[in-house]
Structure 1
């Protein structure tokens, strides 16, 4: 079985975008809230993917975070942000690279389901 390519992993969680935004756009997306986009680029959000001291520091040289970052930022939605970071986490693990803890109760918490 061939391992999934980063594009395949990212595409598997693709969700509907903010109205007026363009999937895969470079720079400022047309009609997107630029302030919100800039906030999502910071290390507290999507920028976490590229932080050389962050939880993905060991993975940066093995799995390029650029595509995951680009998919994460223009959307401006926390659910998509969490999915982008989760997809990158999966890609790093497939590459057998350590990922340090990045989820908190306030940031992309995993909700347990009761039976």
Structure 2
């Protein structure tokens, strides 16, 4: 089952997006829109503790949010990151973009 839900928590200087489930080609479209809107508004933290799977379209959504953040003068970081995703970020080199500097693998 490819279900994904999320909450968006607005704090004083950042937006925390908390997805739960699988970020896949069938779930990433609307989710990416949420990330892009958040990245245009403030710094974004994606709390991925509840994410069970991420495919290439999910990674693409994270990168698109990062690029939107840069374009608007904001940061987009993934924190925390489940172990399976940490390995993917390391292998792809995306950890240098998407993890906070002190957590780069």
TM-score, scaled relative to structure 2: 0.36
Name the one with the larger strand percent.
2
Structure label with greater radius of gyration:
1
Q: Which has the higher helix share?
A: 2
TM-score by length of 1: 0.34
